[in-house]
């Protein structure tokens, strides 16, 4: 049965009564983002993200968490996907004036077929990722202009590295 969504006198408090899941005060202040961070959603690299943000002193980041990280900007499954991610980055720049974009790719990423797609050779994997990072960076520079800084990074099971 469809709920009756018509109302002439909708009351937020009444509606939400008894439905609280989390009690938390969030800041309502506007912020400037220190960066846009494009990161793979693979939770194995969640802890690395947390340490990376700390290391780079990114107190406000706009996080775009997608399978494959920078892959969608370098070699997307479809051009629509690439345009969507570009739109997300543009939104962060427009809304939160983010001055730079970090682009992450990681070892043994499922979107690249894992390390086995490179014959189990970490040298081949990283060599390919360097090309992918260059493609993603060139694409963003072409679309965002030179004023936004683009910094690709590589995560593996030992840490996060400049790429």
Residues that bind Zn ion (CB under 5 A): 40, 42, 109
Q: Nearest approach, Cβ of 44 to Zn ion (angstroms)?
A: 8
Residue-wise over 18-28: b if at least 16 C-beta within 10 A, else e? eeeeeeeeeee
Q: Nearest approach, Cβ of 75 to Zn ion (angstroms)?
A: 14
Considering beta carbons, is residue 87 or 110 the nearer one to Zn ion?
110
Considering beta carbons, is residue 40 or 160 the nearer one to Zn ion?
40
Q: Nearest approach, Cβ of 13 to Zn ion (angstroms)?
A: 42
> What is the token pair recorded at 82?
């690439």
Q: Nearest approach, Cβ of 105 to Zn ion (angstroms)?
A: 8
CA of residue 14 relative to chain centroid, distance: 36
- Three-state DSSP class for 151? strand
Longest dimension (CA), the chain: 65
């Amino acid at each position: 049965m469809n709920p009756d969504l018509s109302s002439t006198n909708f009351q937020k408090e009444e509606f939400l009564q008894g439905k609280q899941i989390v009690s938390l005060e969030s800041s309502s202040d506007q912020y400037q983002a220190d960066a846009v961070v494009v990161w793979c959603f693979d939770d194995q690299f969640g802890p690395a993200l947390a340490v990376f943000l700390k290391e780079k002193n990114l107190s406000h980041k706009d996080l775009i968490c997608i399978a494959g990280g920078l892959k969608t900007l370098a070699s997307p499954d479809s051009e629509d996907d690439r345009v969507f991610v570009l739109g997300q980055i543009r939104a962060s720049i427009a809304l939160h004036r983010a001055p730079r974009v970090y682009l992450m790719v990681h070892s043994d990423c499922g979107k690249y077929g894992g390390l086995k797609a490179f014959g189990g050779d970490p040298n081949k994997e990283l060599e390919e990722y360097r090309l992918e990072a260059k493609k993603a960076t060139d694409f963003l520079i072409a679309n965002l202009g030179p004023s936004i800084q683009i910094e690709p990074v590589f995560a593996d099971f030992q840490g996060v590295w400049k790429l």
